[in-house]
Copies of this chain bind each other. A is one copy, B any other.
């Protein structure tokens, strides 16, 4: 597929992910049916699938095979989706709308949403262990380890805890950055590193460059989220807009103002491109994806 054809590629990845996740999630006909229904509801039929796109784009750099990238993408997307289910619960953000649909605990009930999230996390690790992702099984163990760290208290879950502590407080820019590096950045970074490790071994310099790219893109993603949250209305966004600001949560727009937040996003985009400067055309998808993440409108 031509490198210029990014919209078609991104649609193809999103469509493929729907099929892959549909096949990997337990059927609603298997007991416990309501739990499996909730897991499917929370995972299928929506989402931008940005993390799978990052997995697939990074996999192009190392020429990874598609079946491996599908599994890695599914694991990442299951973790992302479970984090949204738990994050939307009344004891956390108490949100009722997600991807234009009622949130999982509204559609089902809180207990089912809690367990669905728990089981989605287990399923992600199951997928990474039961499918061949690397020629060397020791590399695969390292992949599971980096993924687990990205999910845990020093990754995504830790970022959500930092977020909880930040409500109603005024954060400095480094504090806000630290929150997002964990809350969304850790899983975005894991997406890029997992995708790359599904293929041929890359040297330490190349991996460090991909890591730097992922950090820039991860942070840019959040800055743009804040900008869209400030600017968009509910219909475009598919979730309740302006909610963070109303909840007294610090955002890039509340801290920097809209113009400087936009400038920051564009600086991060430039850094992301700079990080890829030593790569050839195999990194073009990553380049396009960085552009897409910063220039998206939802």
Which of A32, A91, A162 has the most chain B CB within a 10 Å cutoff? A32
Q: Assess the A121–B123 pair: CB atoms within 8 A.
A: no
Least Cβ distance of A114 to chain B in Å? 6
Residues of chain B with a CB closer than 8 A to A96's CB:
none
- Residues 118-142 of A, flagged 1 when their CB comes within 8 A of B and 0 if not, give 1101110110111000001110111
A157 to B117, CA, bound (A): 10
State whether A122 and B155 are in contact (beta carbons under 8 Å apart), knowing that A86-B114, A114-B89, A129-B144 are contacts in the complex.
yes
Q: Assess the A34–B161 pair: CB atoms within 8 A.
A: yes
State whether A125 and B154 are in contact (beta carbons under 8 Å apart), knowing that A112-B161, A117-B118 are contacts in the complex.
no
Which of A39, A128, A155 has the most chain B CB within a 10 Å cutoff? A128
Q: Chain A interface: which size bin?
A: 35 or more
- Residues 69-111 of A, flagged 1 when their CB comes within 8 A of B and 0 if not, give 0000000000000010010010110000000000000000111
A153 at the interface (CB under 8 A from B): yes
Q: Assess the B162–A148 pair: CB atoms within 8 A.
A: no
A151 to B164, CA, bound (A): 27
Residues of chain B with a CB closer than 8 A to A149's CB:
122, 126
Residues of chain B with a CB closer than 8 A to A145's CB:
126, 129-130
Least Cβ distance of A119 to chain B in Å? 4
State whether A119 and B152 are in contact (beta carbons under 8 Å apart), knowing that A91-B110, A91-B111 are contacts in the complex.
yes
What does DSSP make chain A's interface, helix, strand, loop or mixed? helix
A251 at the interface (CB under 8 A from B): no
Least Cβ distance of A130 to chain B in Å? 4
Residues of chain B with a CB closer than 8 A to A165's CB:
32, 34
Q: Assess the B26–A122 pair: CB atoms within 8 A.
A: no
Least Cβ distance of A105 to chain B in Å? 8
Q: Assess the A39–B140 pair: CB atoms within 8 A.
A: no
Least Cβ distance of A156 to chain B in Å? 8
Closest 5 A-B residue pairs measured CB to CB? A122-B152, A91-B110, A126-B148, A35-B161, A119-B153
Q: Could you show 18 A-B contacts with beta carbons less than 8 Å apart?
A: A32-B158, A35-B153, A39-B153, A91-B111, A91-B114, A114-B114, A115-B160, A118-B151, A119-B151, A119-B152, A123-B148, A125-B148, A129-B141, A130-B141, A130-B145, A130-B148, A136-B137, A137-B138
